[in-house]
């Protein structure tokens, strides 16, 4: 017996939009080395490479329905570059945090195919770090709603 309910696309989009609404222009993006922590409540690990990438006034537009994968997807609006990386290392994960600081979400980083894509994952202190894309997805069991 399945323990998790299956949600419609309309429910997935509403949920994802509510989650993304927690991200404000004052939220921080922290990029660190190593593997992402097991949960958002687990302490950060690795070397902090960046906190300088910043969201604009409207971090996320409304989510969209994935026609091929059945997921609700929210793609972040443009994110300002960090023009002065804090340390050197290989980027492994990111966290988006409120000012309290509460982690809203975390994920992996790469130059393509990751939750958050960067211009490079090999970072030297003082480098510019650019977020080239950032998508958040919520799985849905019904891609036709």
Task: In whole angstroms, give the CA distance from residue 136 to residue 28.
Answer: 16
Residue 32 lies in a domain: yes
- pLDDT cut 90: percent of the chain above it: 78
42-63 pLDDT per residue, tens:
999 999 999 999 999 999 999 9
Do residues 74 and 17 touch, judged by C-beta distance below 8 A?
Answer: yes
Task: In whole angstroms, give the CA distance from residue 140 to residue 44.
Answer: 29
H/E segment holding residue 20: helix 9-20
Residue 45 lies in a domain: yes
Do residues 71 and 11 touch, judged by C-beta distance below 8 A?
Answer: no
Q: What pLDDT score was predicted for residue 144?
A: 47
> Could you list the residue range(s) of the whole structural domain that residue 118 is in?
26-62+77-132
| Average pLDDT of the segment spanning 23-36 | 96
Residue 13 lies in a domain: no
Q: What is the DSSP letter of 124?
A: -
| Average pLDDT of the segment spanning 101-108 | 94
Q: Which of residues 61 and 70 earns the better pLDDT score? A: 61
Q: Is the pLDDT of residue 4 over 80?
A: no
Report how many domains make up the chain.
Answer: 1
Residue 127 lies in a domain: yes
Residue 4 lies in a domain: no
> What are 88's two structure tokens?
């050197």
Q: Is the pLDDT of residue 1 over 60?
A: no
Residue 103 lies in a domain: yes
Q: Is the pLDDT of residue 112 over 70?
A: yes
> What are 51's two structure tokens?
């906190």
Q: Is the pLDDT of residue 70 over 90?
A: no
User: Global pTM?
Assistant: 0.89
Task: In whole angstroms, give the CA distance from residue 121 to residue 117.
Answer: 9
Do residues 58 and 75 touch, judged by C-beta distance below 8 A?
Answer: no
> What are 139's two structure tokens?
């799985």
Residue 115 lies in a domain: yes
Residue 141 lies in a domain: no
């Amino acid at each position: 017996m399945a323990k998790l309910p299956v949600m419609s696309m309309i429910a997935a989009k509403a949920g994802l939009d509510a989650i993304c609404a927690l991200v404000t222009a004052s939220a921080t993006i922290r990029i660190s080395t190593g593997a992402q922590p097991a949960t958002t409540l687990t302490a950060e690990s690795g070397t902090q490479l960046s906190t300088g990438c910043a969201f604009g006034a409207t971090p996320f537009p409304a989510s969209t329905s994935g026609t091929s994968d059945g997921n609700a997807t929210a793609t972040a609006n443009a994110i300002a570059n960090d023009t002065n990386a804090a340390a050197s290392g290989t980027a492994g994960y990111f966290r988006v945090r409120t000012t309290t600081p509460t982690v809203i979400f975390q994920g992996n980083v790469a130059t393509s195919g990751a939750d958050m894509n960067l211009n490079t994952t090999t970072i030297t202190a003082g480098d510019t770090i650019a977020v080239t894309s950032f998508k958040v997805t919520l799985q849905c069991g019904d891609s036709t709603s």
